[in-house]
Amino acid sequence: MKQTKIILNEKDMPRQWYNVLPDLPEPLAPPLDPETKQPIAPEKLAAIFPMSLIEQEMSDKRWVDIPEPLLEIYTLYRPSPLVRAWRLEQAIGSKAKIYYKDESVSPAGSHKPNTAVAQAYYNKMEGVKRLSTETGAGQWGTALSFACKMFDMDCTVYMVRCSYDQKPYRGIIIRTYGAEVFPSPSDRTKVGRQVLEKDPQSGGSLGLAISEAVEDAASNADTKYALGSVLNHVILHQTITGLEVKKQLEMIQEQPDVLVGCVGGGSNFGGLVMPYVPDKLEGKNIRFVAAEPQACPTLTKGHFIYDYGDMARQTPLIKMYTLGHGYFPPPIHSGGLRYHGEAPIVSHVAKHGLVEARAYFQNEIFDAARLFMQTEGFLPAPETAHAIKATIDVAREAEPGQVIVFLYSGHGLLDLSSYDAYLQGRLKDQAFSEEEIRQCLAECPTI
């Protein structure tokens, strides 16, 4: 019988994360204080992040030990399987071998807990009692509420109101984990109240929810803030996936030719490919393919400049591919990919020519998702469907025997209303507007 799943034993699970910072072609541009335009001092971040994570954010250590209590939580769902997609290969007539790294097996149903449990742990170690965060589609809020419960911490989630109303199931999961979730704008923060005063019916935005969560953390001594993507320490924690893939491919004496992931903030893609950056820089022929929505084409159409991480201009300035912090993508169903920017680490390796980016429309990614489900059985998240679509395209062009690995970042069981819209032909293939992006980029600070 053909082998389908490559399973790593728990005892062989990586015991360290890989930090790509010391191996980058040149040093990463530092985050800047928006007022002084100078590199931001670590202490300035301490109001909202614990020192251990701030250190990880700027660390030049190549390997970071994963603490034992955290490994114990990881083993609730890790190592995750690497799966040969035999039936998908057959359906598309692929001569390449397709594998997927299945991160949907986590309690939250996505790769997000890999960093959520790490962030909860380090905060707990520094005496933090509660974490605050924002969530758009709900994946990150679910992951952080799971993580906080594992370490007996409180958790407050500000969920963009329009998602809160449209996706009630997410709120229920978050509450069942014991966390509290509020639609944003809320009356719990100054910034929330200001918005509500102007517009009591406001549907909110991710930028506003970030502002509420940051204000909550900054104004409560026992509370810190947690972010689910973009930051260096998030990519660091996510490298557990790429490191496992390395071991799993070794088990079957394979080398990857192509690594594929979808990109929003960049954490799942970054986690998969960063452990392969040294190989690539040493000359190994490995392609990194990033799949993004046409509606939010950060890597394919953005500029590599300093910009704010949020719409409300509260964050430090970070150098990244961006469509401009004012860019508001059309309301596509892949909520996790509707971010104007891109993780600095991912942007950096992309700028150095290590990443091929592809942008897709909604209907073609749902076509790919349905094909995956009808061959491999499992229902992917719309975000993940971008990686599937890119994988299918790459496989069709590939040489016989090539090895393609994509990151299956999450399941779509809480995205079924999107599938309904797709099946009923109600999905719009909205792309970006060149003019809007030009305008948004013009509003970025000049450094």
Residue ranges binding a copy of itself (CB under 8 A): 1-5, 7, 9-11, 68, 71-72, 75-77, 86-87, 105-107, 109, 146, 149-150, 168-169, 172-173, 175-178, 370, 373-374, 376-379, 413-414, 416-417, 419-420, 423
Instruction: Give the 3-state secondary structure of residue 228.
Output: coil
Dist CA 116 CA 144 (whole Å): 5
Look up tokens 């996505």; give the residue: 110
| Of residues 385 and 390, the one with the C-beta less far from a copy of itself | 385
What is the crossing angle of helices 113-125 and 139-150, to 10°?
40
Look up tokens 């940051």; give the residue: 214
Residue 4's contacts (CB-CB under 8 Å, 6 or more residues apart) are 83, 84, 86
Question: C-beta of 32: minimal distance to a copy of itself in Å?
Answer: 38
Which pair of structure tokens corresponds to residue 251?
């088990």
| Of residues 219 and 417, the one with the C-beta less far from a copy of itself | 417
Longest dimension (CA), the chain: 65
CB 186 within 8 A of CB 131: no
Question: C-beta of 98: minimal distance to a copy of itself in Å?
Answer: 14
Question: C-beta of 282: minimal distance to a copy of itself in Å?
Answer: 32
| Of residues 76 and 447, the one with the C-beta less far from a copy of itself | 76
Q: What is the DSSP letter of 316?
A: P
Instruction: Give the 3-state secondary structure of residue 355.
Output: strand
Look up tokens 């005063």; give the residue: 197
Question: C-beta of 3: minimal distance to a copy of itself in Å?
Answer: 6
Question: C-beta of 236: minimal distance to a copy of itself in Å?
Answer: 21
| Of residues 77 and 328, the one with the C-beta less far from a copy of itself | 77
Which pair of structure tokens corresponds to residue 318?
């970070």
Dist CA 336 CA 313 (whole Å): 20
Dist CA 198 CA 214 (whole Å): 21
Question: C-beta of 150: minimal distance to a copy of itself in Å?
Answer: 7
| Of residues 363 and 374, the one with the C-beta less far from a copy of itself | 374
Question: C-beta of 289: minimal distance to a copy of itself in Å?
Answer: 25
Q: What is the DSSP letter of 276?
A: G
CB 334 within 8 A of CB 300: no
| Of residues 87 and 193, the one with the C-beta less far from a copy of itself | 87
Q: What is the DSSP letter of 403?
A: E
Question: C-beta of 367: minimal distance to a copy of itself in Å?
Answer: 12
| Of residues 84 and 319, the one with the C-beta less far from a copy of itself | 84
| Of residues 66 and 323, the one with the C-beta less far from a copy of itself | 66
Q: Tell me, what amino acid is at 161?
A: R
